[in-house]
Amino acid sequence: MTLEAKPMACLLEVSSLRYTRRLLLATLLLFSACDFLPSEQLPVMEFSGSTMGTYYRVVVIDNTDHFTTALAHSLFTQTSFQKALDSLLDRILSSMSTYQVDSEISRFNRLQSSSCQTILPDFAKVVSLALTISQQSEGYFNPLLNPLTTRWGFDSQDLPVILPSSDEIAQLLELTTLDALSIDLEGKKLCKSKPVQLDLSAIAKGYTVDEISRLLIQMGANDFLVDIGGEVRVLGNNARQQSWRLAIETPDGSSSIQEVVQLSGHAIATSGDYRNYFTHDGRHYSHLIDPKTGSPINHSVASVSVIADTTARADAWATALIAMGELNAKRIAGSEELAVMMIFRENEVSTSTESVDGANPNRFRTWTSEAFKPFIAIKD
């Protein structure tokens, strides 16, 4: 799908996320205040298209003073950047797309037990980071959940006719043990001791945002926004020469705003349980799998947003924190000094029009870590 370019002034743009098996989450809304005249806006270049089962959008401030040099600005054109961007996207898809049969990840997933595969830098970086965050998150970030995701019906358009039994889940959990993976960064090899299958969808999109950002910096851009399906990284200022303002959606599908953050030089990612799910016998089954139980998450956390220095880290941590539930998420957010906002469902629907004890009329309450609070935008 291709997004239509829109003027930056007076814009309220909704960007909802869909990425392979993960239909996420809280939407990010990009703001432009309407009390600025168009003449006060700097010119921008916009690039948009589709990748990884969702959209991408890149906004670059098109002004000589906002590039490293005048020469860099003169060389940065719609054609030159689009060509470089297309090449970058092709490179990453050929590495991490499970839908390309000849990609690195697809070839690795077809390997038998006790086998190794030579890997290229992109794949090595993402797998290495995934394993690091898995360890830091006490196993709640797990890139080996593909067998469970598939069995629960979230890897296709077909919902499971029969829900998996506890015995079947236990058998599939045996294929998600991370000690079955080993990576040799110096030798550029990834090995498996069991027939495990990688799925990097909870981190690859964020990594791609980071790589696009790195490309923009290499080409001299100092002020830009990169968005792939709601995973966003920004640098510098927007067209109004202010920090980028992004809003996090209330996790009920209404596109209403829960919170607004102000970023410059950071990334944000959100994971939620309310856009990709099915119901069976009156029960809600989210696409987000608890790596400890092998079943869809079943707790009060509806949405988790993470701000980090890279989008890959924000992406992975948002997935890990929503999987682990409220108490563990608060504990680990504190110990890892993560910038986190969590939105919880209240047990009962509130009919009040006023907030009570942190609950709002939409029956949601929020919690923010100390590291997240400095990013909350001051209300106008």
pLDDT for 158 equals: 62
Do strands 12-15 and 28-31 pair parallel, antiparallel, or not at all (unpaired)?
A: antiparallel
Q: CATH topology for 12-46+56-61+221-375?
A: T-fold (3.10.520)
CB 307 within 8 A of CB 205: no
pLDDT for 40 equals: 76
Residues in the chain: 380
Position 46 pLDDT exceeds 90:
yes
Structure tokens at 61: 């401030």
**What confidence tier does 312 reach under pLDDT thresholds 50, 70, 90?**
very high
Position 146 pLDDT exceeds 60:
yes
**What confidence tier does 159 reach under pLDDT thresholds 50, 70, 90?**
low
From the list 15, 13, 11, 5, the residue with the least C-alpha distance to 60 is: 5
From the list 331, 208, 346, the residue with the least C-alpha distance to 269 is: 208
Catalogue the E-assigned strands of the chain.
Answer: 12-15, 28-31, 44-51, 54-61, 115-118, 181-184, 189-192, 224-228, 231-235, 244-249, 257-263, 267-272, 277-280, 283-286, 301-308, 339-345, 364-368
**What confidence tier does 24 reach under pLDDT thresholds 50, 70, 90?**
very low
User: What is the strand order of the sheet 339-345 is part of?
Assistant: 44-51, 54-61, 224-228, 231-235, 267-272, 301-308, 339-345, 364-368
CB 70 within 8 A of CB 246: no
Position 350 pLDDT exceeds 70:
no
Q: Is the pLDDT higher at 350 or at 69? A: 69
Give bridge partners of residue 286 from the DSSP assignment.
277
Segment 205-217 shows an average pLDDT of: 98
Structure tokens at 186: 């110096």
pLDDT for 294 equals: 78
CB 108 within 8 A of CB 143: no
> What separation in angstroms does the CA of 221 have from each of 72, 147, 151, 161?
8, 41, 44, 51
**What confidence tier does 162 reach under pLDDT thresholds 50, 70, 90?**
confident
pLDDT for 19 equals: 31
**What confidence tier does 355 reach under pLDDT thresholds 50, 70, 90?**
very low
Position 318 pLDDT exceeds 70:
yes
Domain positions in the chain = 12-46+56-61+221-375
CB 326 within 8 A of CB 342: yes
Q: Is the pLDDT higher at 258 or at 216? A: 216
What are φ and ψ of residue 177, in 5° steps?
Answer: -80, 125
pLDDT for 256 equals: 83
Position 27 pLDDT exceeds 50:
no
Sequence-distant (6+) residues with CB within 8 A of 322 are 271, 272, 273, 288, 297, 301, 303, 304, 329
Give the C-alpha separation, 350 to 327, whole Å. 23
Give the C-alpha separation, 86 to 165, whole Å. 44
State percent of the chain over pLDDT 90. 65
* pLDDT single digits (tens) 93-145: 999 999 999 999 999 999 988 999 999 999 999 999 999 999 999 999 999 99
Please give the full DSSP string across 222-271, using - where no structure is assigned. -SEEEEETTEEEEES--TTSS-EEEEEE-TTSS--EEEEEEESS-EEEEE
Position 233 pLDDT exceeds 90:
yes
Give the C-alpha separation, 82 to 48, whole Å. 9
Structure tokens at 343: 């939105």
- Mean predicted lDDT score pLDDT of the chain: 84
The neighbour count for residue 167, using CB atoms within 10 Å, is 8
Position 31 pLDDT exceeds 50:
no
Position 12 pLDDT exceeds 50:
no
Segment 310-335 shows an average pLDDT of: 96
> Helix/strand/coil (H, E, C) string of 45-104?
EEEEEEECCEEEEEEEECCHHHECCHHHHHHCCHHHHHHHHHHHHHHHHHHHCCCCCCCH
From the list 220, 179, 231, 234, the residue with the least C-alpha distance to 81 is: 220
pLDDT for 380 equals: 62
Position 272 pLDDT exceeds 90:
no
Q: Which of 19-23, 127-131, 144-148, 301-305 shows the lowest mean pLDDT across its residues? A: 19-23
3-state helix, strand, coil in the chain (%, to 5): 30, 25, 45
What are φ and ψ of residue 365, in 5° steps?
Answer: -130, 160
Structure tokens at 250: 């209330």
Position 33 pLDDT exceeds 70:
no
Q: Is the pLDDT higher at 28 or at 253? A: 253
